[in-house]
A and B are shown apart, each in its own frame.
Chain A
């Protein structure tokens, strides 16, 4: 069982390759989706302090449900990554290490992943209830007014992931263009 941890340093990233193996992530990760990306990009351009340190951090493309009473978190699976493609290269250039989502990425994002030695993981898609089991704590850190699109710090333990694009730009989907 391959375990990895945030902050995700370069040594760990280099040990991860697109392939069969599932990896298990522990540590804090940050949710951000469409509107949060727009704001993050604006904040960077305006030279403002960001709500979390991008360096070696992982963004999870996710907007959880409301948290049911007595639970740590609600259903919290990945959303479609390609909607964040327009922002990803810029944020990778500013220090972000990894992203978790579902589905394919644009050639531009793949290029940026290679250039900045980033990494893109996919999580079990449409399995938000199951994935909630691996979340140990939750804290909203920014943009609370965005509701489900707020940036939330999730402390995860052994969160199951598949490496979809590695730091060399190998892409799990490339070999799988539909026939």
Chain B
């Protein structure tokens, strides 16, 4: 059995913290460039230019792309033939904590959701999956809460029609409106259970924006971009950069649909050890 010291995981997570917060994803950057070129609305063009300038400045100056450095969400795919010596979860949280501190990010996490109190850097949200092999894949998604607040879940009847489901997804985007930093990336999770559809919707944000699109994803994107919300909600043809849908088998009695919206600063970084 292959062995991996927990301290290596901590180091890797620290690197992911830096990469995700300072360097905008290449696929997101190229989608923004494309939108900036094709926008006909002058104000939308100017705003998209500022968004691109911001990404370049963040990279050059090692500054956070956005001051909301998010709730850190870590997806772990742990190979079943890998033995981690030490405490895996503590190692990940330590990497988040030390990384956020080292790179002067924001301490946005409060220990007690009801009584609030002093804010810190961790714990992160962890989704751990066991997979074949002897490697570990770590993906960090710092999720800003302006857009996280616009998440929606609806438990549809199994006989619901596709237009009803589309209306719900588009409705979630309209509800976010100008508030959550459009242009958005819209993550959708369909199927599973109430909780699992939410995880799928979040995971959908990790799919490359330039990956092949399904007809449903294309249709939704078209309709969303016809709302005219536009960058910062000030009009234009770019309300979303992409819609990404992940599905999973579900129960005969239901059809859960979750929507997880990301702002234009969709940040994530990944490593395999």
Interface, chain A (partner B; CB < 8 A)? 20, 35, 62-69, 71, 74-77, 79-82, 102-104, 122, 124-130, 132-133, 145-149, 162, 172-173, 176, 178-179
Contact = CB atoms under 8 A, between A and B. Distances in A.
Contact of A130 (B43, B50, B68): B50
Contacts of A149: 119
B229 A176 contact: yes
The 6 closest A-B pairs by CB, nearest first: A103-B179, A129-B58, A127-B54, A75-B64, A128-B67, A68-B104
Nearest to B239: A178
B269 to A, nearest CB: 17
B50 A66 contact: no
Contacts of B149: 80
A80 B175 CA distance: 13
23 contacts: A63-B68, A65-B105, A68-B104, A74-B63, A74-B67, A74-B106, A75-B63, A75-B64, A79-B146, A80-B180, A102-B179, A104-B178, A104-B233, A122-B232, A124-B51, A127-B66, A129-B64, A130-B57, A147-B118, A162-B232, A162-B234, A176-B178, A178-B229
Contacts of B174: 178
Contacts of B103: 68
B26 interface: no
Summarize A's interface: helix, strand, loop or mixed: loop
A102 B51 CA distance: 14
Contacts of B50: 124, 127, 130
Interface string B11-35: 0000000000000000000000000
